[in-house]
Amino acid sequence: MTTTRPLFILICSALLSGCGKKNEFVAPPAPEVEVQAPLIGKTTVYSEVSGRTEASSRVEIRARVVGFLKSTEFAAGQFVKEGQLLFTIEPEQFEAQVRTATGNLDKAKADLEIKTANFKRREQASSSGAVSELDVLSAAADMKAAKAAVSIAEAALMDAKRDLSYTQVHAPISGRISDSRVDQGNLVGSDATLLTVIVSVKPIYVNVEFNEREALPYLADMPNEKNPTGRGGKDGTAKNKKIELILSDGSVHDELGRFDFVDNTINKESGTIRSRILFENAGGRLADGLFGRIRIPETIPDAVQVPSNVIQRDIGGSFVLLADEENKVVRRTVIPTLFSLGSMKIIESFDESAGTGLRPDDRLIVSNLQRAREGIVIKPVDPNPVQVGDPEPVEAKLPEEKTAE
């Protein structure tokens, strides 16, 4: 009696448990993700590349004759005009050389007069048979030698005068001059002594190097048979771009520049091409050797913008995730460009043949990306509207003046 009761209770429990509902698997709810259409429209973007300013003209002033430096006629660092007197080298020995050369020339001319008169007399006497033909020929030769001596004396005088002119050193260009590299009283000219340097910074250049991908839009400006100077480019606009210069303190130079030179070959080692931007520098605010960043605007008529964080990358390349008509997650290959606008990245336009890029009506998944796996069903939610417009180009202006407190 005692052994059958527990068995009875166990059997009743088993029967009662079999009368309930069966366990069924309940799928988790579809993850909620925010979706939005790509932003497509006219957009201005900027390429930036670093470079340094370079004077448009740079002249090393050297002594061209040997002598002692007599005087310096400028203040270090000042602006000098073309033709302005800079240095004087003691002229006495060169003045003496001019006088000597002048005397030699006078002597040669006098000798020529004598030889010419002698030739004429002998030529007249030969008609009457008073002198031989040989005497006439000899007199003619003497006259020619005298003429040659005059030419030599004239050349020597020119050399002496030129050397005398070198004792006064004038500025060959207008620009800012450095300091004097030689003190007064020193011997100069024995080794073409460097006296000072003048640089002209009106206009001024900024030398930069573009990588191959950045340079491609500007190669249309390469000179050719129809466009020898390369000043128009394929559409006549490339070299007229409004290029800004951002200085090392972050200020924007108050002038816009333009392309002045693009080299004729790509450097095979660095993969870059040398270029030069010209700024008029009318106010003279830019000096030779300054560091700066060149900013070049480019307008893209139908730029495709997506948030930078939605672009993923694996062994197959860059891609984004989209929601199709059935709210399934699909993958789409995209090709990012070099340009970004804040948190947005510009990608290449839709290419139907390659199946890359985005259409205006695509639904781009922009949140909960860790749960949005390819092939699963998601629950799309509209995000807060993103206001992204065509940024206005930065207008070059004078930096604000700081006042001492």
Assigned domain for 22 exists = no
pLDDT winner (highest mean) among 117-126, 225-234, 235-244:
117-126
Bigger pLDDT: 204 or 316? 204
Assigned domain for 387 exists = no
Mean pLDDT, rounded, for 171-189: 94
The percent of residues in the chain predicted with pLDDT above 90, rounded, is 52
Assigned domain for 156 exists = yes
Q: Pick from 313, 304, 384: which is nearest to 341 by CA?
A: 304
- In this prediction, residue 95 has a pLDDT band, given cuts at 50, 70 and 90, of very high
Bigger pLDDT: 139 or 401? 139
Average pLDDT, the chain: 84
pTM for the structure as a whole:
0.66
In this structure, the answer to whether residues 135 and 205 fall within a common structural domain is no
Q: At what angle do helices 92-126 and 133-165 cross, to 10 degrees?
A: 160
Residues spanned by the domain of 253: 48-55+200-300
In this structure, the answer to whether residues 294 and 352 fall within a common structural domain is no
- In this prediction, residue 306 has a pLDDT band, given cuts at 50, 70 and 90, of very high
In this structure, the answer to whether residues 215 and 318 fall within a common structural domain is no
pLDDT of residue 16: 53
Assigned domain for 6 exists = no
In this structure, the answer to whether residues 225 and 269 fall within a common structural domain is yes
In this structure, the answer to whether residues 73 and 186 fall within a common structural domain is yes
Assigned domain for 103 exists = yes
In this structure, the answer to whether residues 294 and 364 fall within a common structural domain is no
CATH of the domain at 357: 2.40.420.20
In this structure, the answer to whether residues 134 and 157 fall within a common structural domain is yes
Q: Is residue 28 scored above 80 in pLDDT?
A: no
Which tokens is 124 given? 């007249």
pLDDT of residue 126: 77
Of 145-149, 181-185, 300-304, 390-394, the one with minimum mean pLDDT is 390-394
pLDDT of residue 401: 42
CATH of the domain at 122: 1.10.287
Assigned domain for 8 exists = no
Q: Is residue 72 scored above 70 in pLDDT?
A: yes
- Quick: pLDDT tens for 348-403: 999 988 889 999 999 999 998 888 888 889 888 877 654 444 444 444 444 444 44
Q: Is residue 230 scored above 80 in pLDDT?
A: no
pLDDT of residue 203: 94
Mean pLDDT, rounded, for 324-344: 90
pLDDT of residue 231: 55
In this structure, the answer to whether residues 217 and 290 fall within a common structural domain is yes
- In this prediction, residue 87 has a pLDDT band, given cuts at 50, 70 and 90, of very high
3-class secondary structure per residue, the chain: CCCHHHHHHHHHHHHHHCCCCCCCCCCCCCCEEEEECCEEEEEEEEEEEEEEEEEEEEEEEECCCCEEEEEECCCCCCEECCCCEEEEECCHHHHHHHHHHHHHHHHHHHHHHHHHHHHHHHHHHHCCCCCCHHHHHHHHHHHHHHHHHHHHHHHHHHHHHHHHHCCEEECCCCEEECCCCCCCCCEECCCCCEEEEEEEEEEEEEEEEEEHHHHHHHHHHCCCCCCCCCCCCCCCCHHHCCEEEEECCCCECCCCEEEEEECCCCCCCCCEEEEEEEECCCCCCCCCCCEEEEEEEEEEEEEEEEEHHHCEEECCEEEEEEECCCCEEEEEECCEEEEEECCEEEECCCECCCCECCCCCCCEECCCCCCCCCCCECEEECCCCCCCCCCCCCCCCCCCCCCCC
Q: Is residue 9 scored above 70 in pLDDT?
A: no
pLDDT of residue 368: 86
In this structure, the answer to whether residues 252 and 132 fall within a common structural domain is no
Assigned domain for 388 exists = no
pLDDT of residue 389: 46
Q: Is residue 208 scored above 90 in pLDDT?
A: yes
In this structure, the answer to whether residues 175 and 261 fall within a common structural domain is no
Bigger pLDDT: 260 or 206? 206
- In this prediction, residue 50 has a pLDDT band, given cuts at 50, 70 and 90, of very high
Q: Is residue 292 scored above 90 in pLDDT?
A: yes
Mean pLDDT, rounded, for 180-186: 93
In this structure, the answer to whether residues 70 and 188 fall within a common structural domain is yes
Of 87-96, 278-287, 380-389, the one with minimum mean pLDDT is 380-389
Assigned domain for 336 exists = yes
